[in-house]
Structure 1
Amino acid sequence: MTVPGISAEPPEALRPHAEDAFAEELKALAAADDRPRPARWRLSPWAVATYLLGGVLPDGSVITPKYVGPRRIIEVAVTTLATDRALLLLGVPGTAKTWVSEHLAAAVSGDSTLLVQGTAGTAEEAVRYGWNYARLLAHGPSREALVPSPVMRAMAEGMTARVEELTRIPADVQDSLITVLSEKTLPIPELGEEVQAVRGFNLIATANDRDRGVNELSSALRRRFNTVVLPLPGTPEQEVEIVARRVDQIGRSLELPPAPDAVAEIRRVVTVFRELREGVTADGRTKLKSPSGTLSTAEAISVITGGLALAAHFGDGVLRAGDVAAGILGAVVRDPAADRTVWQEYLETVVRERDGWQDFYRACREVSR
């Protein structure tokens, strides 16, 4: 049925899944990929790594980088998925754990949606299986009444499952993965059956190493994973490249007009975040107090995207210091009592004295009042 005033065309997703957003690149890689592929993999390990790291194919197709960082990290992650060990991506907030997880699943299985989102309220049913209670009450336990979890579906279909924020999941729910990862089976005692993983199945989990002590992984579960630590960007240039690339992608999805000379402001935001994060100025001359927040690359992307929206809708389209000042203040001052002092000291001792930063100093002072 067509509703007046509403298009019959399917709506465009605000954030398409990786396999949809980069479908052309995945298609080009599959066509050029003549290397051995593990069972049920869409691409060979070499092609999966190329998809993540970027490159140029023999036919001239350009594969854009999805991850900017040490190549060996991605190679180890991809190789792990080709074995019988699960992969744990570990790192501080904003190190692209979820981003890498999604793109690995998209490249390996062509489907990144078999996802369990970890929270303090994640129940065991989200990891194992649940029940359609109407059918359960009417007919008793049966295959028709069973509701498979993403992990169960991945096991049955030889796909890659994802578990986000594993350390936020209660410990007893975490441990329901032990049998899945060690025996590659999922018992269904109510039916006297089990689901056995078929070749191609594996699991990617992400965890924030700042969450240690919240729901620490048991040693039995940790042994089932090969842990790969994703570091923060090693250099300012790497971080600027990451922020610029993601801001461009997000801006196009939000239909924001391109902002000329945005890189200069991106570099300034990255400099502020890195100096406060590391507790020292870029030249190493001045020690700084660090705020309570993480000031991650993801937060820098958010600040710049918000600034671009301000410039587009309430300015002349040129990204300036005034467009990012409020976003930086919100990212830095998480604890009003302690962080405000850290921020004021940084403004007065570093920003105020830095050549070419007077516009930034004035804009930050104005929003900090």
Structure 2
Amino acid sequence: MTLTTTAVLRPHAEQAYADELAALAAIDDRPRPPGWKLSPWAVTQYILGTTLDDGTEITPKYVGSRRLVEVAVATLATDRALLLIGVPGTAKTWLSEHLAAAISGDSTLLVQGTAGTVEEAIRYGWNYARLIAEGPSEQALVPSPVMTAMAEGRLARVEELTRIPSDVQDALITILSEKTLPVPELGIEVQAKRGFNIIATANDRDRGVNELSSALRRRFNTLVLPVPQTADDEVDIVTRRVAQLGRNLDLPEVPASLTEIRRVVTVFRELRNGVTEDGHTKVKTPSGTLSTAEAISIITNGMALAAHFGDGVLRPADVVPGILGAVIQDPATDGVVWHEYLETVIRDRDDWHDFYTACREATH
């Protein structure tokens, strides 16, 4: 069954931004690596955003260092795989999806890493009904997304690599070093076509869960994605993503209040960094991550509350419940951290009285 893009809850990047990708392809006259839909220059323009000569607006997909994006794109044009590392909410998955969409035109060749990921998810599996009935055959083979990417010369994505058990991780070593995937049961091998590569992501808070072996790590070029450097950058990211999510979810029109977005971002940055934005007051840090992704979720949920249960205007009472849920992960310790921050920082801000009142009402 085929669904139209408008009927899909979350279109893939190559679907949602098809017009932008087509516009870039139409004017892209620079050299393209084998198998690439766009040149490295055009991929970077797609990721960072620009305005084309004909007025077409290419929206930014990642707000951050141009050099970091250029290094990521250049890596994928070589024979080294790319590993994106960062704390939760630093757009690792978002960036990997858009890189795959721009380079291969397909971001769906995905292995989602978990503690239960098995080797078949990276190599191949079998249709056991056919295997029992017919014995080993190519028709009974079930290729993994990685095998499909190798055969078609595309990018494969491996999410949360350090969540995958170490012995399963190591199935990537031969693939990345030899660019081949043997199938001994059939006496054949799948050799990677030009254009194949892998983008993996890892949460640096997962260090020690399933640490990468040195042999595997050597086969990746590792880039650390930082949290947004400034509050303005983070506000910009949250504002853009909230607007996009609101359109995708067909939420009733609610003005995305920059005041409330900036307040949520400020609270998260101060608690995350352990100091107020002006640098004058140290604060305790809660156990939660307080990521940009969580801020986006809080504002989006607040807009839904304002639209369906409020007066259509985003107010502190709409975002405070989400903030409390993100900050107070452990009621015993995080509750103390929040109360101290509320009474020593927020209460004394002249233009935050309505926010302070909403916080007090939500905690009593």
Specify the TM-score bucket, using the shorter chain as the normaliser. over 0.9
1:12 partnered with 2:11: no
1:121 partnered with 2:121: no
Q: Which of 267, 276, 282 is matched with 2:277 structurally? A: 282
Residue 299 of structure 1 corresponds to which residue in structure 2? 294
Cα distance in 2 between the residues matched to 1:335 and 1:40: 49
Q: Which of 345, 351, 361 is matched with 1:356 structurally? A: 351
Question: TM-score, normalised on structure 2?
Answer: 0.98
For residue 259 of structure 1, report the CA deviation from its aligned partner: 2.4
* Contact residue 5 and residue 15 of structure 2 kept, 8 A: no
Q: Which of 86, 90, 108 is matched with 2:85 structurally? A: 90
Identity of aligned residues (%): 75
After superposition, give the CA deviation of every residue in 1:116-152 in whole Å (9 maximum; x if it has no partner): 0000000000000000000000111010000000000
For residue 258 of structure 1, report the CA deviation from its aligned partner: 3.1
- 5 Å matches for 1:265-276? 265-276=260-271
- 5 Å matches for 1:141-180? 141-180=136-175
Q: How many matched pairs?
A: 363
* Contact residue 25 and residue 37 of structure 2 kept, 8 A: yes
After superposition, give the CA deviation of every residue in 1:1-27 in whole Å (9 maximum; x if it has no partner): 9xxxxxx97871011000000000000
1:341 partnered with 2:324: no
SS in 2 for 1:357: helix
Residue 191 of structure 1 corresponds to which residue in structure 2? 186
Question: TM-score, normalised on structure 1?
Answer: 0.97
| 340-349 or 249-258: bigger deviation | 249-258
1:62 partnered with 2:69: no
Residue 360 of structure 2 corresponds to which residue in structure 1? 365
For residue 59 of structure 1, report the CA deviation from its aligned partner: 1.6
After superposition, give the CA deviation of every residue in 1:226-272 in whole Å (9 maximum; x if it has no partner): 00111000000000000000000000111113323511110010000
Residue 222 of structure 2 corresponds to which residue in structure 1? 227
1:217 partnered with 2:212: yes
Q: AA paired with 1:268? A: R
After superposition, give the CA deviation of every residue in 1:15-71 in whole Å (9 maximum; x if it has no partner): 100000000000000001000000010000000000000001122211000000010
Residue 332 of structure 1 corresponds to which residue in structure 2? 327
Mark the CA change 1:301 to 1:132 in structure 2 (over 3 Å): closer, same or farther: same
* Contact residue 32 and residue 58 of structure 1 kept, 8 A: no
Cα distance in 2 between the residues matched to 1:39 and 1:254: 37
Residue 181 of structure 1 corresponds to which residue in structure 2? 176
1:204 partnered with 2:204: no
- 5 Å matches for 1:48-59? 48-59=43-54
For residue 223 of structure 1, report the CA deviation from its aligned partner: 0.3
Structure 1 moving runs of 4+ over 3 Å = 8-11
1:314 partnered with 2:309: yes
SS in 2 for 1:356: helix
Superposition CA RMSD, Å: 1.2
Q: AA paired with 2:29? A: D
